[in-house]
Amino acid sequence: VSVTGHGVWLAAQTLLEKSLLTISHGWLWAGLYFILLAIVGASSLFGYLEVITSSLASIRPAFNRFKPLISFGMLALIFLMDLVLTTQGGIHVYHLLLTYISNWPTLLFSLLTVLATVLCHSTDHLMKDLSNMSKISLPHWVTSHLSVIYASVLPTFLTISLVQSLYTLSIHHLAEPLSTFGLSLPHWGMPMGWSLAFLPISPIVFGAVVHCVWGARGVPRLLHLMNSVKSTERWSRNERLELEETSGDIGQRNENVSTA
């Protein structure tokens, strides 16, 4: 069992109560440390709130005028959800959220994003998009190395990290990290933890089932699955039009610069 704890336990109890307060002028350093934690927490909250509200408001253009109302509603919802952490069992809920849902979903969604980009968008289109966004004509050796990284190196590292994270999560309960501070999970802790772990991937599983069962009407299942990892004709046509428009703008800009 760890003596100092890790994560939030190391930052909150070990450093704040057992380290900073024992040094000279510890109250000053502890106060500054608390202010730093408050600033980091507030900035993270506003950053996540902006991402959530912008995602909801971008569903339809008409929702943009209701963005302040959406922000207020999401802030109120987050406040109501945080009330669970103020109960007697709130420390256990926080531990389950921090352990089972805060780390590995990021690796999973990063892996899915990379695979979707490589399989559906292709590395050639990705290199063209990077060149258009940066307004720089990338050399061949740069695009070649980036293509290899996106197609093989990055998915491999993400897969290894995801497997390691899930393995660590599967044996995490054996270490009993809360016992360092005289706490232990109740009997419902493990089932609730794995239920929370399944929560991030439940929309993906539900969407995949709906897509495979109801989205293949009139199309053979195998052909439907193969088309699922390919870009649609409409999307490809719009992509070509956007690339042509961007290339025309860049050419016009270069012509104006050379004329001037």
- pLDDT per residue as tens digits for the range 9-25: 666 666 766 677 677 77
The residue count of the chain comes to: 260
Which residue is listed with tokens 């943009």?
A: 64
The Cα 209–Cα 113 span in angstroms is 19
Return the percentage of the chain with pLDDT > 70, whole number.
72
More confident residue, 92 or 149: 149
The tokens of 114 are what?
């990379």
What is the pLDDT, as a whole number, of residue 245? 66
Statement: residue 5 has pLDDT above 60: no
Three-state secondary structure readout of 85-111: HHCCCHHHHHHHHHHHCCCHHHHHHHH
The secondary structure element, H or E, covering residue 42 is helix 26-57
Give the 3-state secondary structure of residue 188. coil
Q: Rounded mean pLDDT of the chain?
A: 78
Full-prediction pTM beyond 0.85? no
The Cα 192–Cα 89 span in angstroms is 13
Confidence of residue 156 (pLDDT cuts 50, 70, 90): very high
Give the 3-state secondary structure of residue 65. helix
Confidence of residue 2 (pLDDT cuts 50, 70, 90): very low
Report, as an integer, the average pLDDT of 176-203: 74
Return the percentage of the chain with pLDDT > 90, whole number.
9
Which residue is listed with tokens 């109560």?
A: 17
Which residues have CB under 8 Å from 239's CB, separation 6+?
125, 231
Measured CA to CA in angstroms, residue 244 lies from 79, 117, 239 at distances of: 47, 21, 9
The Cα 191–Cα 202 span in angstroms is 16
Q: Do 56 and 68 contact (CB within 8 A), yes or no?
A: no
Statement: residue 157 has pLDDT above 70: yes
Q: Do 96 and 192 contact (CB within 8 A), yes or no?
A: yes
pLDDT tens-digit readout, 194-218:
788 888 888 888 887 877 777 666 6
Confidence of residue 1 (pLDDT cuts 50, 70, 90): very low
